[in-house]
């Protein structure tokens, strides 16, 4: 029997960001900053917030979404709500 593949939260976040910002999966790393992603615009923020809610069940407030400066901020905000990103 094939072993079930567990998708980690990091992988889920990566898939989401690739989908929302159309970044190349090879460009993804945890230290990516907002200013490094040209498609991280105002509509991108809305799209990201919806995507996070769909994927992790947490809804960013408008202030939280605007204050995010990079991927590590997203992880920190979600970990503060009990969503683990430990490998």
Partner 1 sequence: MDAVEVLVERRSAESLAVLERHWSLRRTFAYVDERSFTAVPWLSEIQEHIPQPYRQDHYCLLTSGTTGAPKLVIGRKENSEQLARVLHRAQDSDPVRETIVTLPLTYCYAFVNQWLWSRVINRRLILTAGLSKPELLRESLRRANDAMLCLVGPQAAMLRGMFGAEAFPGVIRLHFAGGRFPQEQLGALQELFPNATIFNNYGCAEALPRLTLRRAGDSECASDIGYPVAGVQLKSGDSNELLFLSPYRCVAQLDSKGFQEIAPEQWMPNGDQVREGDNGHWHLLGRDSEVFKRYGEKIALPQVLTTVSQQWNGQTGYYREKDSAGEDGYVLLLSPQPGETELHRLMQALRTRHPRTHWPLRIEGAPSLPMRTNGKVDCLAAQKMEDRTLLWRQRL
Where on the chain is the footprint of partner 1 (CB under 8 A)?
Answer: 19-20, 22, 24, 39, 41, 43-44, 46-48, 50-51, 54
d(CA 3, CA 39): 37
Nearer to partner 1, 19 or 79 (CB): 19
Give SS3 for 84: coil
d(CA 29, CA 1): 33
Q: Is the dihedral of CA 56, 61, 66, 69 positive or negative?
A: negative
Q: To the nearest whole angstrom, how small is the minimum distance from the Cβ of residue 78 to partner 1? A: 17
Nearer to partner 1, 19 or 84 (CB): 19
Backbone angles phi, psi at 43, to 5 degrees: -70, -30
Q: To the nearest whole angstrom, how small is the minimum distance from the Cβ of residue 48 to partner 1? A: 8
Q: To the nearest whole angstrom, how small is the minimum distance from the Cβ of residue 87 to partner 1? A: 26
Nearer to partner 1, 43 or 66 (CB): 43
């Amino acid at each position: 029997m094939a072993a079930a593949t567990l998708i980690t939260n990091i992988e889920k976040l990566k898939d989401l960001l690739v989908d929302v910002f159309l970044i190349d999966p090879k460009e993804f790393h945890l230290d990516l900053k907002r200013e490094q992603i040209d498609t991280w615009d105002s509509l991108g923020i809305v799209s990201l917030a919806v995507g996070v809610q769909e994927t992790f069940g947490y809804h960013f407030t408008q202030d939280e979404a605007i204050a995010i400066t990079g991927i590590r901020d997203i992880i920190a905000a979600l970990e503060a709500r009990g969503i683990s990103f430990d490998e």
